[in-house]
Amino acid sequence: MSIVVALSRAVDPELAADIQKESVYVSPQLTNLRVLPTLDAVELEIAEGADPETVQAKTLRFLASMMKRTHRFDTKVFLRTERRNRGSLARNVHEELKARGWIFDYGNGQVALSGPVLALGRAIDAKAAELYDRDFRAAPGAFPAFVDAEILKKCGYFDSHPNAVTFACHVVDDIDAIEEFRAANSGTEAVQLPAREHLHLPGTCLNPAACFPCYPTLSKKKIAGDGTAFTWQGRVFRHESRNISGLERLWEFNVRELVFVGTENYVVECRQRALPLIEELAGHFDLEIRVETAADPFFATVSAARTFWQRSQEVKNELRLPVEPGPDGAERTIAGGSVNIHGKFFGERFNIMTEDGSTAFTGCIGLGIERWVLSAFTQHGFDPQRWPAAVRNAIF
Ligand SMILES: [Zn+2]
């Protein structure tokens, strides 16, 4: 059934989009929420058999939280690159990549990559790594996909993004529980998951932000000189519920990460040096991109306060990449990464110091590889001749 609920005021398109996106975490019985084109009401789709009053009450609490976002910030654009190949944007890119066998979509936010898609993802990652080495002398590293809940708590993740966490669990170490699970899957066709009471949550998560596992490794250390940088490719996991969509929004994806740690000046300077580097990276792949102020998609109950803080401090800049227009024909971009400065947050939480013993500042840049791949195929299409020669030769 569907119900229309009036909003307390008309919202701006940015808030309308966030309300729609974050509504997936309201209730499993709320199967869709759409802000009407008038921007002053929402339409709820409620599952058959659900109690509409309960779902509506949850939705109203959700909307009340989101509607606390009253301040509008002008978006500042720091960088805008143009594409030399002026061809029009390709359509149905994800479907075409699947049809060519370059992507296998498991259907739940996980993909397998091969052929030119894999080659392009690797080329983007490698070029970024090369530039980070050249301009930041970034030391290479490697980190696990698992991250301890203690670390995520220290990073403030549960407090800001509790909806996006993925926990790892296993069957309790109990012979009867394990045997029950084994027997249920022996000679049967459909998978039988263990009973809920037989699952143990050891407090291990799948890492939701590439830079987190780096900070514990710097704990109680003094960073030499003005500062230092690290770079690696991280595997990142975010529970996106029914917002999962092709290469655009995955549950599991790859990020080329750069972390810089040191004095306040060093971190500020690193952020400045990042802009020409991103410009060069986009130029190498002949991509149109934009870098602008943004905020994280915070969980509804803390969205208003944290969005205000993040936007007013201008601590997050997002890289926006064009993708194919929506059903209404409107231009669309997706976040292909971000440049963040964290102040002393991680320095304090993990006791990281500069040479003189004061708390270190940190910042990071994360580039979402699969989103860059999607945007590159959207911008250049499937005719190799439209791609820049160096990239074409490397991937086709
Ligand atoms: Zn980061």
- Encode burial over 149-183: b for 16+ CB neighbours within 10 A, e otherwise: bebbebbebeebbebbbeeeeebeeeeebeebbee
How remote is the CA of residue 173 from the centroid of ligand 1, in Å? 35
Q: State the residue for tokens 């091969």.
A: 114
Radius of gyration of the chain (CA): 22
How remote is the CA of residue 24 from the centroid of ligand 1, in Å? 25
How remote is the CA of residue 339 from the centroid of ligand 1, in Å? 8
| Structure confidence at residue 73 (pLDDT) | 87
Give the C-alpha separation, 349 to 153, whole Å. Answer: 10
Burial class (CB in 10 A: 0-12, 13-18, 19+), 190: exposed
pTM above 0.85, yes or no: yes
- Taking every pair of Cα atoms in the chain, the longest distance, rounded to a whole number of angstroms, is 65
| Structure confidence at residue 305 (pLDDT) | 83
| Structure confidence at residue 71 (pLDDT) | 84
Q: State the residue for tokens 């750069």.
A: 258
Give the C-alpha separation, 387 to 369, whole Å. Answer: 18
For the CA atoms of 31, 33, 37, 40, the dihedral, rounded to the nearest 10 degrees, stands at 150
How remote is the CA of residue 258 from the centroid of ligand 1, in Å? 8
According to DSSP, the β-strands at 166-171 and 199-206 are antiparallel
Give the C-alpha separation, 294 to 315, whole Å. Answer: 8
Give the C-alpha separation, 251 to 237, whole Å. Answer: 5
How remote is the CA of residue 264 from the centroid of ligand 1, in Å? 17
How remote is the CA of residue 296 from the centroid of ligand 1, in Å? 12
Contacts of 195-203 spanning 24+ positions with Cβ under 8 A: 198/171, 198/172, 198/174, 199/169, 199/170, 199/171, 199/172, 200/169, 200/170, 200/171, 200/172, 200/173, 201/167, 201/169, 202/168, 202/169, 202/170, 203/148, 203/149, 203/150
| Structure confidence at residue 122 (pLDDT) | 98
How remote is the CA of residue 52 from the centroid of ligand 1, in Å? 40
CB 227 within 8 A of CB 262: yes
CB 161 within 8 A of CB 208: yes
| Structure confidence at residue 388 (pLDDT) | 96
Burial class (CB in 10 A: 0-12, 13-18, 19+), 137: exposed
CB 274 within 8 A of CB 244: no
| Structure confidence at residue 233 (pLDDT) | 98
How remote is the CA of residue 366 from the centroid of ligand 1, in Å? 6
What is the full per-residue pLDDT of the chain (396 aa) written as tens digits? 999 999 999 999 989 999 999 999 999 999 999 999 999 999 999 999 999 999 999 999 999 999 999 888 889 999 999 999 999 999 999 999 999 999 999 999 999 999 999 999 999 999 999 999 999 999 999 999 999 999 999 999 999 999 999 999 999 999 999 999 999 999 999 999 999 999 999 999 999 999 999 999 999 999 999 999 999 999 999 999 999 999 999 999 999 999 999 999 999 999 999 999 999 999 999 999 999 998 888 999 898 888 888 888 888 999 999 999 988 888 999 999 999 999 999 999 999 999 999 999 999 999 999 999 999 999 999 999 999 999 999 999
* Residue-wise DSSP of 336-360: EEEEEEEETHHHHHTT-EETTSSBP
Q: State the residue for tokens 């699970």.
A: 181
CB 351 within 8 A of CB 154: no
